[in-house]
Amino acid sequence: MPLHNDLYRRQDGVDVERSSKGNAKTTADRRLRFSSTSTAKPAAATFTPVILPDSRSSSSSSSSTSAEPTSIVSAPVPPSTLPRPFDTGLGNNYTQDSCPSFINKFLRNETFTSCLPFSLLLQNSMSFFSVTKSYSTITSTLDTACKSVGSTCNPLMASLAVQLRQDENCAADYRREQPLVVAAYNGLIAYEPLYKAGCARDPDEGKYCFANAITNISSPTDSYPYYLPLGIPLPGGSQPSCTDCLRGTMKIFNEAASNEKQQPLLDTLPAAAQMINVACGPGFANQTVPNAGQNSGTSLGINPRLGALAVFISSVAVVLV
């Protein structure tokens, strides 16, 4: 089951405005207001969920009729039904038993679970794939993920990424590029940029940019840029809509790549920005990325359409060996 199978996308009757190719809004008052906070050391980062004001509200602070940010009304997701990373299992194709034990241990950690890491759900969760079929359920899931405490979750993910590559845990399997281990590592170090991008909202209606992208059946490649921090390149021929959401998302990713040498974005962002600029116009996305191509990590090179499915197949395959 492809991660972005159009037959399973629906918007539950919610109409989503999209900008057409070549007609992206470029005026300053309609651009996304993304958090620009970035640090070289993930442990020092803090987060505030991005809630954008209605771009059509009055600029006068004294007016009592100024529009407030649009809120999305959705039923809360019970903790028991929240998606989980690696919910199809970890398989058994490991050099050392300590590796799956380490991964299972942090997956069961209460603090880790409370963070609901979007970066680890995006590629490695079939239950997350299920919630993306509905605009209301993906919105509810993002509501929960964006309430996580960045000052706790970001240092935790950074620490787990370091521990994963230690000899007593998954170093041997990481060096041989075991797919699930690489996916876990990339998801951990991509927590910060994907938290910011996943929690960003569009300027007109205050809806989550990712929810708009993943449920936009008229432009199925809109969600593909979100996979760049996971080491998955933008497939050739992709034409994501030239919206303020796309512009702001690429800005977040550029800042992350410029400040952290371990990010898979160093390998995937330059080519993606160039491709997007061909469709959206020169300068739409910043193509300049310091240290581009010098990522010391590992990129998977999986088509976004096959992201969760590819990891799932890998898990099943190694069980059958």
Question: Looking at residue 290, what is its pLDDT?
Answer: 77
**pLDDT by 10s per residue, the chain, length 321:** 334 333 333 334 333 344 334 444 443 344 454 443 333 333 333 333 443 333 333 333 333 333 333 333 344 444 557 999 999 999 889 999 999 999 999 999 999 999 999 999 999 999 999 999 999 999 999 999 999 887 899 999 999 999 999 999 999 999 999 999 999 999 999 999 999 999 999 988 899 999 999 999 999 999 999 999 999 999 999 999 999 999 999 999 999 998 887 899 999 999 999 999 999 999 999 998 876 665 555 555 554 544 444 443 333 333 322
Q: For the chain, report the end-to-end CA distance as a whole number of angstroms.
A: 22
The pLDDT, as a whole number, for residue 50 is: 42
CA angle 102, 262, 164 (to 5 degrees): 10
Task: Assess contact for 297 and 189: CB atoms under 8 A.
Answer: yes
Please state, in angstroms and rounded to a whole number, the distance separating the CA atoms of residues 118 and 122: 6
The answer to whether the beta carbons of residues 84 and 129 sit under 8 Å apart is: no
Buried b (16+ CB within 10 A) or exposed e, 232-242: bbbeeebbbbb
Helix (H, G, I), strand (E, B) or coil at 14: coil
Residue ranges of E strands in 139-296: none
pLDDT of residue 27: 38
SS3 207: coil
What does the alpha-carbon distance between residue 108 and residue 103 come to, in Å, rounded to a whole number?
9
Which one-letter amino acid corresponds to residue 240?
P
Q: Report whether 151 contacts 191 (CB < 8 A).
A: no
Helices 307-320 and 179-189: angle between axes, nearest 10 degrees:
140
Distance (Å, rounded) from C-alpha 267 to C-alpha 67? 41
∠ CA 301-302-308, nearest 5°, is: 145
Tokens of 26: 């470029």
Provide the angle, in degrees to the nearest 10, between the axes of the packed helices 179-189 and 98-107.
40
Residue 49 — φ and ψ, nearest 5°?
Answer: -50, 135
Q: What phi, psi does 261 have (nearest 5°)?
A: -75, -10
* 44's tokens: 């020092």
Q: What are phi and psi of 10, to 5 degrees?
A: -150, 160
Give me the count of residues in the chain: 321
